[in-house]
């Protein structure tokens, strides 16, 4: 049912890829340390590039399975780059861009914040 709803909204859910990411994060060799960018299949630097670069990003807020972002110029957002970086889907409304990345949203959001500092 979720897949049907997602397709009607133009979202292509790749559930096997999402599950692979959950498994790879859960099977870290040292589970006592927090997850880092190296533990995920999401490339935070490529997400920044796909959002038009650091200068184009106003805000990044992780929320459950997505990064809610605000950009200065929406025309600089490259969905193909975001998907190659590991995004499952991208939703846009004006300068608000949601990058769906799966359960690593908090970790990826933190990694992006570090890159933007």
Q: What is the pLDDT of residues 58-90, one digit of tens each?
A: 999 999 899 999 999 999 999 999 999 999 999
Residue 23 forms part of a structural domain: yes
Q: Which of 19, 31, 63, 64 is catalytic?
A: 63
Residue 99 counted as domain residue: yes
Number of domains in the chain: 1
Q: Is the pLDDT of residue 101 over 50?
A: yes
The pLDDT of 92-101, averaged and rounded, is: 95
Q: How far is CA 56 from CA 1, 39, 71, 81, 83, in A?
A: 36, 27, 5, 15, 18
d(CA 35, CA 70): 25
Is the distance from CB of 101 to CB of 65 less than 8 angstroms? yes
For all residues of the chain together, what is the average pLDDT?
78
Q: Per the domain annotation, does 33 fall within a domain?
A: no
Rounded distance between C-alpha atoms, residue 8 and residue 53, angstroms: 30
CATH number at residue 64: 3.30.1360.60
Tell me, yes or no, if 86 is annotated catalytic: no
């Amino acid at each position: 049912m979720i897949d049907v709803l997602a397709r009607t909204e133009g979202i292509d859910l790749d559930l096997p890829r999402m599950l692979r990411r959950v498994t790879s994060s859960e099977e870290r060799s040292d589970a006592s340390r927090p997850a880092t960018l190296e533990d995920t299949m999401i490339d935070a630097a490529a997400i920044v590039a796909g959002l038009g670069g650091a200068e184009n990003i106003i805000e990044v807020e992780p929320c459950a399975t997505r990064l809610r972002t605000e950009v200065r110029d929406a025309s600089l957002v490259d969905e193909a780059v975001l998907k190659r970086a590991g995004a499952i889907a991208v939703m846009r409304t004006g300068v608000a861009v949601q990058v769906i990345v799966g359960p690593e949203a908090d970790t990826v959001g933190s990694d992006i914040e570090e890159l933007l500092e």
